């Protein structure tokens, strides 16, 4: 069972970014499903690593468009990206060092952050990027 379900409400109306958001949702769901199935750290570690890498890749895509088109809230949005990237990397490092487990609290944080960020900050830039010709 998915912890996050992709639906049209999450769309920012920019195809490339929606596809990336869907991939992030898939990765969070994969982490959740693997944890619920009792998979060991040998499975959870690579999924968490993929999630962190893909998040960094995705943020760079958004920021590329923000810079290209002069998005007025670029700095505030980038700070949110930087904060999450730092937290996710710290979580990954802590997990790899055996100091952190993948728990419901971690998954809830990832789910809440992802859906909250998309529905909040990301929804704001959709119309701006659409007005610049991105769909």
This prediction has a pTM of 0.91
Instruction: Kindly tell me if the per-residue pLDDT of 129 is higher than 90.
Output: yes
Q: List the Cα angle 122/63/55 in 5-degree steps.
A: 70
Distance CA 59, CA 77 (A): 10
Residues 22-43: what's their mean pLDDT? 85
Residues 25-45: what's their mean pLDDT? 83
Instruction: Kindly tell me if the per-residue pLDDT of 40 is higher than 70.
Output: no
Q: List the Cα angle 116/120/124 in 5-degree steps.
A: 150
Q: How much is the pLDDT for 41? A: 75
Distance CA 86, CA 134 (A): 29
More confident residue, 88 or 124: 124
Residues 24-37: what's their mean pLDDT? 88
Q: List the Cα angle 95/96/100 in 5-degree steps.
A: 20
Domains of the chain from N-terminus onward: 11-131 (1.20.120.50)
Q: Which two tokens stand for residue 54?
A: 């893909």
Distance CA 119, CA 39 (A): 31
Distance CA 88, CA 57 (A): 13
pLDDT digits (tens, 9 = 90+) for 80-122: 999 988 888 888 888 888 887 777 777 888 888 889 889 999 9
Instruction: Kindly tell me if the per-residue pLDDT of 68 is higher than 90.
Output: yes
């Amino acid at each position: 069972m998915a912890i996050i379900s992709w639906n049209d409400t999450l769309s920012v109306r920019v195809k490339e970014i929606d596809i990336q958001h869907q991939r992030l949702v898939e990765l969070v769901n994969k982490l959740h499903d693997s944890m619920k199935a009792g998979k060991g750290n040998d499975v959870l570690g690579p999924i968490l690593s993929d999630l962190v890498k893909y998040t960094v890749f995705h943020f760079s895509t958004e920021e590329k468009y923000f810079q290209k088109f002069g998005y007025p809230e670029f700095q505030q949005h980038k700070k949110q990206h930087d904060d999450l990237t730092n937290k996710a990397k710290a979580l990954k490092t802590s997990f790899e060092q055996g100091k952190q487990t993948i728990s419901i609290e971690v998954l809830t944080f990832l789910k809440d952050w992802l859906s909250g960020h998309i529905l909040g900050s990301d929804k704001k830039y959709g119309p701006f990027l659409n007005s610049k010709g991105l769909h």
